[in-house]
Amino acid sequence: MALKTGKEYIESLRKLKLNVYMFGDKIESPVDHPIIIPSMNAVALTYDLALDPQYEELMTVKSHLTGEKVNLYNHIFQSPSDLVQKVKRQRMLGQKTACCFQRCVGQDALNAVYSTAYEVDQKYRTNYLQNITDYVLHVQTEDLVTDGAMTDPKGDRSLPPSKQVDPDLYLRVVERREDGIVVNGCKAHQTGIVNSHEVLCMPTIAMSPEDKDYAISFAVPTDAPGITIIFGRQSCDTRKLENNEIDVGNSQFGGHEAMIIFDHVFVPKHRIFLNGETEFAGMLVERFSGHHRPSYACKVGVGDVLIGASALAADYNGVNKAAHIKDKLIEMTHLNETIFSSALACSYEGTRTSSGAYLIDLMLANVCKQNVTRFPYEMGRLAQDIAGGIMVTQPSEQDYKNKEIGHYIEKYLKGVDSVPTESRMRIMRLIENLTLGTGAVGYLTESLHGAGSPQAQRIMIARLGNFEDKKELAKHIAKIDD
């Protein structure tokens, strides 16, 4: 067992025979496509940092299966300290990439499936825990990237899966065989799927017995026969095709989303982790969502970059000493650290499940994600306020480098005299990227909808709020005797 370098990881992707489409064309070599490369670089960094002595404490851990060092992304949490390590890793990687680095969904899926499989085995004497344990061992041994896949298109959301006019609007089993199953359907919003070796699928909602064919969890390679990946469109994405650096904002790193289509995909029996046990679909969804919601500590790291960019914009604009600017930076920091504190809290309060794997505190995890659905938007507003309108109206890099007109841009986009005009342009584009462009997908929109949109957390908070117990506390203090 050996940890891969980032370069070895990229070469492993090159060996995959992915069926990827973008802008109506099939992409023959995804690893060489300029729109995909930044997101691939972000994943590659998670490999390189695992081998860096400065970061290996955050990026690696001993496998509970083998005792050997593995990437933390491929680990089943064995203690609250593992959960805390994950949160701190997320912030660090957000600081280094200022984008979504695409691997936390897979880790959260592995952990949710692992603990749920144990519960299913206890009731039905299935072999799911052994299946997922063997799968985790495979992922650890080969040092792979697993893409977690939960969200179905859902069609008419007033109807359950089995009542949809088109039965494929939720991923489903269309054939059961002695050696496995055949599935049809789609998973949407798949973060980093083109950069992944494997896809691990889960149900997207709690289900009734009538939805048996939809209560399915399994894993297959991303290049399995019958899989088609349709790359998602993002604002400003074609700037990456313009052979420029300034206008992209974040030229080295990025994220991506895609739809993954399953058209009669065969899943071997040993790769199945749930197969019709509908009463456990809700547990799997709840545990995955619980694990994934504090994973948004990554937005704290991206927030650190945004705060730094905003402070630089203030410096470059010559307003850094203004009291209202200082107050805006303080407010951004307060909001950012509030997200981080709730992510840490739900991890420190994590408890052991029957499987031996640890689960975060579900109430605090949902509070964390509720904060994430709000605070980055306010931070983005404050960043845009500090930067000023030139963030979105400045001319292109091509104009800046044009011999005929570039000197006008150099002259009139100058801020503080000691700061190069290009530096000011670069920081403005970075703020634009994080709050409006391709980076906003990973920072703002993903903050809102990733791991469930705001109402999903509010439903869980209502379920876990213990209002009746709190009423009794109030009655006791007020000396009310029913």
Q: Please state, in angstroms and rounded to a whole number, the distance separating the CA atoms of residues 164 and 171.
A: 12
In the DSSP assignment, the letter for residue 5 is: P
Question: What is the tens place of the pLDDT at every residue in 349-360?
Answer: 999 999 999 999
Which domains occur in the chain, in start order? 6-277 (2.40.110.10), 293-478 (1.20.140.10)
pLDDT score, position 2: 83
CB contact at 8 A, 223 and 375: no
Tokens representing 249 are 């904002």
| Amino acid of residue 418 | S
Regarding beta strands 272-275 and 216-221, do their DSSP bridges make them parallel or antiparallel, or are they unpaired? antiparallel
Strand order in the sheet with 272-275: 146-149, 198-201, 216-221, 272-275
How far, in Å, CA of 170 to CA of 205, rounded? 10
- Alpha-carbon span 89 to 108, nearest angstrom: 14
Active-site positions read 100, 104, 191, 257, 292, 296, 298, 446
The DSSP symbol for 445 reads I
Q: Which residue has the tokens 């017995």?
A: 209
The strand pair at 227-231 and 20-22 is best described as parallel
Beta bridge partners of 90: none
Question: Minimal CA–CA distance to 235: which of 35, 384, 28, 15?
Answer: 35
pTM of the model: 0.96
What residue ranges of the chain have pLDDT lower than 70? 1
